[in-house]
């Protein structure tokens, strides 16, 4: 009798124990954010913001983002801004997504104050709640030397797939110049046009002048270089990520960080970013429909100017409803490929804001290939064997009378299956914790199974 009771209770107790341990492990990891949460994706926050190349007609704004996004500058001669400049790399008019953003604002007035904000993805960035400010230089009566050019070449680490970087140059009491690194790693800077820090005159270069260079690439890779004016023509090749000091007998020795000479500007997300938004498309969203419906939010009953950058740019204006919602569907089909949508509207302060988002339109019929492999179409012959794994369907067919077989025989008709390409689940920061969490869930399920079996049977 005692043996029979324990034979019932032991599996039940074991199942309850597994359930308790499994729920405990799962609850702990869920509370700590390991289970059911994924690691945050790359940010579109504007970082390493610098102003360079200030002349009497232009200036350059550069910044970096962790995620590749469309970047632009909203600028103007007052805080209402009203004009937009896009990345220098968008030479053909197509807006691209980058981690290194380099935007030159041109055709300005000499010795004038300008205001600007930074648009990065769907966010707007200001400085202390106000637009950034910059002042163009006065027209100089003296001329500069076009022949004084510094050249060099950057080698990117083999493990770094990116080939984009910005080169910054200055000297003590001088302004900062910058240039984009070309695809082959080369760069050049005209130091003959270098002005003093206050932009009042051209900078005087002597044999004792020490120049500093900061090379800033993607993924926070950088190099700091020091050299004197004797190496004014060409700087030895450098590898991004290493520091160099060429002022000591031209020996390539690591130097102290020169990045403090190239301080960046602080910024924060504008509060209007919560009101002015493009909800559809989200960044890099894909569409099967060649005439997708776009939507977003702005101020109630306000004008929103919409531009869709495609083969033939689409431009229109719409009015938001009383709740600030807007939507727009193109009257004609968009061509397959990558596109961008830009909205221009005013925020609560009356400042004209620009937001840009990227999206992709699939060609007709291509959407299946994005999520599934092509379906197999096996041709069945008496001697052939299907190469794919068929799902057999047994259909009894009558045997012809002229066959010497009296009984019916089943015919296997293979049915092709579509194998979906399953996107990997984003991995949390700690893979061991994920395995531990799955182990906890497994214990819970096993515990319930043992418990149910033990309650319905005397033995497991």
Q: Domain holding 228: CATH number?
A: 2.60.40.10
144, 257: one domain: yes
Give the Å distances, CA to CA, from 361 to 121, 275, 340, 364, 368: 19, 27, 11, 9, 13
184, 236: one domain: yes
| Cβ(226)–Cβ(210) below 8 Å | yes
Chosen domain end from 269, 286, 321: 269
Which tokens sit at 109?
A: 């007035």
Among residues 256, 257, 252, the alpha carbon closest in space to that of 231 is found at 252
What is the arithmetic mean of pLDDT over 384-389? 42
Percent of the chain with pLDDT over 70: 65
Quote the pTM value: 0.63
Q: Are strands 352-361 and 285-287 parallel, antiparallel or unpaired?
A: parallel
- The verdict on residue 47 lying in a domain is no
152, 174: one domain: yes
- The verdict on residue 396 lying in a domain is no
| Cβ(83)–Cβ(76) below 8 Å | yes
Highest mean pLDDT among 137-146, 340-349, 400-409: 340-349
148, 178: one domain: yes
- The verdict on residue 57 lying in a domain is no
Looking at the predicted structure, is the pLDDT value of residue 358 above 70? yes
Instruction: Render pLDDT for 364-380 as a digit per residue (tens, 0 to 9).
Output: 655 444 433 343 334 44
What is the arithmetic mean of pLDDT over 16-25? 62
Which residues on neighbouring strands pair with residue 179, listed in sequence order?
167
Chosen domain end from 226, 251, 269: 269
What is the arithmetic mean of pLDDT over 65-86? 90
Chosen domain end from 269, 292, 325: 269
- Please state, in angstroms and rounded to a whole number, the distance separating the CA atoms of residues 214 and 165: 10
| Contacts of 290 by beta carbon, 8 Å cutoff, 6+ apart | 333, 334, 335, 336, 361, 364
258, 275: one domain: no
Which tokens sit at 305?
A: 């100017």
Looking at the predicted structure, is the pLDDT value of residue 359 above 80? yes
- The verdict on residue 257 lying in a domain is yes
- The verdict on residue 203 lying in a domain is yes
Considering only 67-81, 182-196, 391-405, which range has the smallest mean pLDDT?
391-405
261, 149: one domain: yes
Which backbone phi and psi does 161 adopt, to 5 degrees? -75, -20
317, 248: one domain: no
Summary mean pLDDT of the chain: 76
Identify the band that residue 419 occupies on the pLDDT scale cut at 50, 70 and 90: very low
264, 310: one domain: no
265, 246: one domain: yes
What is the arithmetic mean of pLDDT over 235-252? 80
What pLDDT sits at residue 232?
63
- Say how many C-beta atoms besides its own lie within 10 A of residue 430's C-beta: 14
The number of distinct structural domains making up the chain is 3
Identify the band that residue 457 occupies on the pLDDT scale cut at 50, 70 and 90: low
174, 249: one domain: yes
Residue ranges making up the domain that contains 351: 270-361
- The verdict on residue 198 lying in a domain is yes
Which tokens sit at 171?
A: 């000297």
144, 239: one domain: yes
Highest mean pLDDT among 36-45, 53-62, 188-197: 53-62
47 vs 129, residue with greater confidence:
47
What pLDDT sits at residue 323?
86
| Cβ(264)–Cβ(252) below 8 Å | no
What pLDDT sits at residue 140?
82
145, 253: one domain: yes
What is the arithmetic mean of pLDDT over 331-345? 88
Instruction: Render pLDDT for 149-177 as a digit per residue (tens, 0 to 9).
Output: 899 999 998 766 778 999 999 999 999 99
């Amino acid at each position: 009798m005692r043996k029979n009771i324990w034979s019932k209770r032991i599996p039940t107790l074991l199942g309850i124990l597994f359930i308790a341990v499994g729920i405990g492990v799962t609850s702990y990891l869920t509370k700590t954010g390991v289970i059911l949460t994924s690691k945050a994706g790359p940010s579109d926050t504007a970082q390493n913001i610098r102003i360079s190349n200030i002349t009497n007609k232009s200036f350059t704004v550069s910044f970096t983002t962790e995620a590749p996004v469309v970047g632009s500058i909203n600028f103007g001669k007052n805080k209402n801004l009203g004009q937009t400049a896009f990345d220098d790399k968008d030479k053909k008019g197509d807006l691209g997504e980058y981690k290194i953003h380099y935007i030159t604002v041109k055709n300005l007035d000499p010795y004038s104050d300008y205001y600007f904000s930074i648009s990065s993805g769907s966010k707007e960035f200001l400085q202390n709640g106000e637009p950034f400010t910059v002042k163009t230089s006065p027209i100089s009566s003296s001329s500069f030397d076009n022949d004084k050019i510094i050249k060099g070449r950057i080698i990117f680490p083999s493990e770094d797939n990116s080939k984009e970087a910005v080169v910054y140059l200055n000297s003590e009491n001088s302004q900062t110049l910058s240039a984009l690194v070309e695809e082959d790693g080369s760069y050049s800077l005209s130091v003959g046009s270098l002005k003093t820090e206050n932009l009042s005159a051209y900078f005087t270069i002597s044999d004792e002048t020490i120049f500093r260079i900061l090379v800033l690439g993607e993924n926070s890779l950088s190099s700091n270089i020091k050299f004197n004016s004797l190496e004014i023509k060409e700087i030895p090749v450098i590898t991004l990520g290493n520091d160099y000091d060429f002022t000591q007998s031209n020996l390539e020795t690591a130097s102290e960080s020169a990045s403090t000479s190239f301080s960046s500007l602080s910024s924060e997300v504008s509060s209007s970013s919560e009101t002015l938004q493009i909800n559809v498309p989200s960044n890099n969203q894909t569409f099967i429909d060649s005439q997708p419906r776009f939507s977003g939010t702005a101020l109630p009953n306000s004008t929103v100017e919409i531009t869709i950058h495609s083969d033939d740019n689409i431009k229109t204006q719409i009015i938001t409803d009383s709740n600030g919602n807007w939507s727009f569907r193109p009257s004609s089909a968009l061509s397959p490929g990558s596109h961008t949508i830009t909205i221009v509207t005013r925020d609560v302060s009356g400042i004209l804001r620009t937001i840009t988002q990227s999206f992709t339109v699939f060609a007709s019929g291509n959407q299946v290939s994005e999520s599934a492999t092509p379906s197999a179409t096996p041709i069945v012959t008496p001697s052939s064997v299907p190469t794919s794994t068929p799902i057999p369907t047994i259909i009894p067919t009558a045997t012809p009378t002229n066959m010497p077989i009296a009984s019916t025989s089943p015919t296997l008709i293979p049915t092709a299956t579509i194998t979906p390409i399953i996107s990997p689940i984003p991995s949390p920061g700690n893979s061991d914790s994920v395995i531990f969490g799955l182990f906890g869930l497994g214990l819970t399920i096993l515990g319930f199974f043992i418990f149910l079996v033990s309650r319905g049977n005397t033995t497991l």
